[in-house]
């Protein structure tokens, strides 16, 4: 029978998960604590380690299946086979991967099928990156575990940082007869929603159904912040080892504004309003499987370096898929920066049970009037979505004005104005 691999404890109140991907196949060698599968919970991805060294035996559930905590999902045959290299099964796979990839590569932008993705052992995130970039995955060398392709491998190739072999050049000439078949082909693909995406959909709809959502807008002149960042970014990075970004300024500004308008940093609980004397900022971060919101705790008591360090750390963990449930628990206020994706204006949705979310957008030069003269200034639109049951319109406008004042005159951040 072998040693059983069970679903580990996933965190408080989490009883089940979805098996996202098998990382090992039957017959492959497995080291102790080496991940054999990845699980998707409501918030994060969790890797399941092997309890012993040996050979991967039987996978008892399929990818996409729901599994409970403690359930047996696979077996590991303990013994000498585990110390042998996994080359016994790899050569059988090696020829198949290029062959299947070659048939999919030429004219369809590398829209690979499920079978081809399985042959190349591409994760959903990597598969999406391949489809978006048009990179030929069979022409790349993976930097991940066991030579697997990572999303970063595909992105680097798409940006021209990794030269792809020129061997596939004859391919477009050879399958000339296949081209007409592919040209007019229309495809549909059904992909099961991940547990994270299902949770995002449910929570956002609940927010719309429960809260009295309203959004107010303002714009801010980024001239002074851009100048301060340009003046000190090199010294900042040299001293602290991290880059000085814009988010630190906005977190600091939000902390000052929340002192004047505490309702924005509060929540409704039953028939009571819960006020916080601290600011735990949920920072929206893009991860391969959706938007996640890790929390910078007591951000109002942190320095610029501590804030930027926390953001950089969470960004790295989000890309690697190593964010934990604890990283995203709580939060009293959210900041979402759609500007990094080019957004000009949006109406963000609050993250329950929070009562407000600040939306940042892209910076662009626009004509404005200063001292009677029309001049170009780097401007950004700000949006504050809030629960009107708790936050009045006057308070929402005041909060945004306080942020605008602090960003346009960063000295206020130093003297608590």
Name the residues annotated as catalytic: 388, 392
- In this structure, what are the phi and psi dihedrals at residue 334, rounded to the nearest 5 degrees? -120, 140
379 within 8 A of 365, measured Cβ to Cβ: yes
Q: Label each residue of 64-90 as H, E or C.
A: CCEEECCCEEEEEEECHHHHCCHHHCH
CB 15, CB 68: distance < 8 Å? yes
Counting Cβ atoms within 10 Å, is residue 145 exposed (0-12), middle (13-18) or buried (19+)? exposed
Q: How far separated are the first and last CA of the chain, in Å rounded?
A: 68
CA distance linking residue 340 with residue 361, whole number of Å = 7
The answer to whether residues 119 and 93 touch, using CB atoms and an 8 Å cutoff, is yes
Q: Which helix (H) or strand (E) holds 3?
A: strand 3-6
Which of the 8 DSSP states describes residue 300? G
User: Which DSSP category does 43 fall into?
Assistant: S
């Amino acid at each position: 029978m072998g040693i059983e691999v069970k679903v580990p404890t996933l965190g408080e109140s989490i009883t089940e998960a979805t098996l996202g991907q098998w990382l090992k196949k039957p017959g492959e060698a497995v080291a102790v604590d080496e991940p054999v599968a990845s699980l998707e919970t409501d918030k994060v991805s969790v890797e399941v380690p092997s309890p012993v060294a040996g050979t991967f035996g039987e996978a008892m559930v399929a990818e996409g299946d729901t599994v409970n905590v403690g359930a047996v999902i696979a077996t590991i045959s303990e013994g000498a086979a585990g110390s042998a290299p996994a080359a016994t099964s790899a050569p059988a796979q090696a020829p198949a991967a290029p062959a299947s990839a070659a048939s999919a590569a030429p004219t369809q932008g590398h829209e690979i099928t499920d079978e081809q993705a399985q042959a190349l052992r591409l994760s959903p995130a990597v598969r999406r990156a391949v489809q978006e970039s048009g990179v030929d995955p069979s022409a790349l060398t993976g930097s991940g575990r066991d030579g697997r392709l990572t999303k970063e491998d595909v992105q680097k190739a798409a940006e021209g940082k990794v030269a792809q072999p020129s061997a596939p050049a004859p391919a477009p000439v050879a399958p000339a007869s296949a081209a007409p078949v592919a040209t007019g082909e229309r495809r549909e693909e059904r992909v099961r929603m991940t547990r994270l995406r299902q949770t995002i959909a449910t929570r956002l709809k609940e927010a719309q159904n429960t809260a009295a959502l309203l959004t107010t807008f303002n714009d801010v002149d980024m001239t002074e912040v851009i100048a301060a960042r340009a003046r000190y970014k090199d010294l900042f990075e040299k001293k602290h080892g991290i880059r000085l970004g814009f988010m630190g300024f906005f977190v600091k500004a939000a902390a000052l504004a929340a002192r004047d308008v505490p309702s924005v940093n509060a929540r409704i609980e039953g028939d009571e309003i819960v006020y916080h004397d601290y600011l735990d900022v949920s920072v929206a971060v893009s991860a391969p499987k959706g938007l996640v919101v890790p929390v910078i705790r007591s951000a109002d008591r942190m320095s610029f370096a501590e804030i930027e360090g926390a953001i950089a750390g969470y960004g790295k963990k989000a890309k690697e898929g190593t964010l934990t449930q604890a990283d995203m628990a709580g939060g009293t206020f959210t900041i979402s920066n759609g500007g990094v994706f080019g957004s000009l204006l949006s109406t963000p949705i609050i993250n329950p049970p929070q009562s407000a979310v600040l939306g940042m957008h892209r910076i662009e030069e626009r004509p404005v009037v200063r001292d009677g003269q029309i001049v170009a200034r780097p401007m950004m639109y700000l949006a504050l979505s809030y629960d009107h049951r708790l936050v009045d319109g006057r308070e929402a406008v005041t909060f945004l004005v306080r942020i605008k004042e602090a960003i346009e005159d960063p000295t206020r951040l130093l003297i608590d104005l």
